[in-house]
Amino acid sequence: MNVILRGRTKQILEDMVEEGYANTLSEAIRLAIINFGESHANEEGLVARKLDRIDKKIKQGKRKLLTAEEALGPYVKHLK
């Protein structure tokens, strides 16, 4: 696989090599992918971040929180 790197992305990877975190750009890319996977791609983390975004939208008034009655609509009679 060939990857063309430019700008900030390329600079970050070059810094990783220069500072000794990786020996090559390829190794720096592998480390970055592993780091991303460990910090962002686990299911628990994804759920927590999604819930945080929902809470933020509710506080900003961009999303409405429904009561059980509103959510159930005509089926509210089954709530009790």
Asked if residue 61 is part of any domain, the answer here is yes
**What pLDDT, on the 0 to 100 scale, is given for residue 9?**
93
pLDDT averaged per 10 residues in sequence order, the chain, 80 residues: 90 96 95 86 82 95 91 85
Is 1 inside a domain boundary?
Answer: no
The domain total for the chain is 1
Q: How far is CA 53 from CA 12, 56, 69, in A?
A: 28, 5, 24
Which range of residues forms the domain containing residue 41?
A: 7-78
- Burial tier of 5 (Cβ tally within 10 Å: 0-12, 13-18, 19+): middle
pTM of the model: 0.51
Residue 48: inside a domain: yes
On whether residue 2 sits in a domain, the answer given is: no
**pLDDT reported for residue 33:** 92
